[in-house]
Structure 1
Amino acid sequence: MEKTAIKNVFVEGAISPEFIARSIAKHQSKTGIGAHDIFLGQVRADEIGGKTVTAIDYSAYEQMANRVFHEIKETAFRDFELSCLHIYHSIGRVNTGEICLFVFVSSPHRKPVFQALQQVVEEIKAKAPVFGKECFEDDSYQWKVNK
């Protein structure tokens, strides 16, 4: 497989439904694809210590994080028969109910997309140096712990 360039995965603020729809629509002309799978991470209104999360403010050392995302993608292409794999992650403030992570996997067949998507999302959670401050309604915050 030919090495690909490191791309910037970060989107300022929430990832809009329109952005997601445009991404999907761009793949209609790729007629060798037979299956897609999508993961959408959404900010939850968790209650922590009697306070409700209203947003998460994401930050990252973007150059390092983009390299990690690139390595995750390269591993998925090595491990599975994929046509496309796109990762987008929010940077900055994302309110509850909004999308903060969009992973889109395509393949000629369905099984590889299911397997690849799960691997990619788990590796993002375990390895990507992206940090979130959970913001509460009283303007206090705490650093988020990935679960």
Structure 2
Amino acid sequence: MIKITEKAIDVQKVIDTACSLGAGAVNVFIGTVRNTAHAKNVLWLEYEAYESMAVAEIKKIVDEASHRWPLLGSGVSHRIGTLKPGEVSVVVAVSTPHRRDSFEACQFIIDNLKEKAPIWKKEVFEDGEEWISAQPVRAVEAQS
């Protein structure tokens, strides 16, 4: 399951899609809209996506994860449209036979989704707005 949606994400459905009876671990990342950024109050976020390309890119990321770790199941859903603080913006769920693989695969998928999928975010504040382009994770790690 890979889904881009304007509707609220059914977190349990994403988890259920990823679950497998052979799994010893199910790992879930739930991204939510925070109420502050850059020391400003966030009123809402606006997400836009090139949907067909985003789905295709996420599929490539999940496929790569399945070559690195023994994924038994996976599910990814990302919201687009206007989201207020507290709302769920993205859910990634994976199942694997063992927990370490589950944690690593889930992190790999969300990090690469943020870096590579054509999904854009605009933060709207009390005094303006700003389009946010995700900085590649690898570049951030290299700077540390």
TM-score band, normalised by shorter chain: 0.7 to 0.9
What whole-Å deviation, never above 9, does each CA across 1:95-147 have from its counterpart, x for those lacking one? 11111010001012212101111111111111111001112246x42202435
The 4+ residue runs of structure 1 with deviation greater than 2 A are 21-28
Report % sequence identity. 34
CA 39–142 in structure 1, closer or farther in 2 if over 3 Å, else same: same
Q: TM-score if structure 1 supplies the norm length? A: 0.81
CA 27–131 in structure 1, closer or farther in 2 if over 3 Å, else same: closer
Structure 1 stretches lacking a partner, 5+ long: 1-6
2:18, 2:72 within 8 Å by CA — same for their partners in 1?
no
2:45, 2:83 within 8 Å by CA — same for their partners in 1?
yes
Q: Number of residues paired by the alignment?
A: 135
2:18, 2:26 within 8 Å by CA — same for their partners in 1?
no
Residue 75 of structure 1 pairs with residue 64 of structure 2: yes
Q: Which residues in structure 2 correspond to 1:1-147 (within 5 Å)?
A: 8-15=2-9, 19-25=10-16, 30-48=20-38, 51-137=40-126, 140-146=128-134
Which residue number corresponds to residue 4 of structure 1? none
CA 113–47 in structure 1, closer or farther in 2 if over 3 Å, else same: closer
Alignment RMSD (CA, Å): 2.1
TM-superposed CA distance for 1:51, in Å, is 4.2
| Counterpart residue type for residue 82 of structure 1 | L
Which structure shows the higher helix fraction?
Answer: 2
| Counterpart residue type for residue 144 of structure 1 | I
2:35, 2:43 within 8 Å by CA — same for their partners in 1?
yes
Q: TM-score if structure 2 supplies the norm length? A: 0.82
1:13, 1:94 within 8 Å by CA — same for their partners in 2?
no
CA 8–76 in structure 1, closer or farther in 2 if over 3 Å, else same: closer
Structure 2 stretches lacking a partner, 5+ long: 136-144
What whole-Å deviation, never above 9, does each CA across 1:43-84 have from its counterpart, x for those lacking one? 111244x74111111001111111111110110011100101
CA 117–53 in structure 1, closer or farther in 2 if over 3 Å, else same: same
2:49, 2:120 within 8 Å by CA — same for their partners in 1?
yes
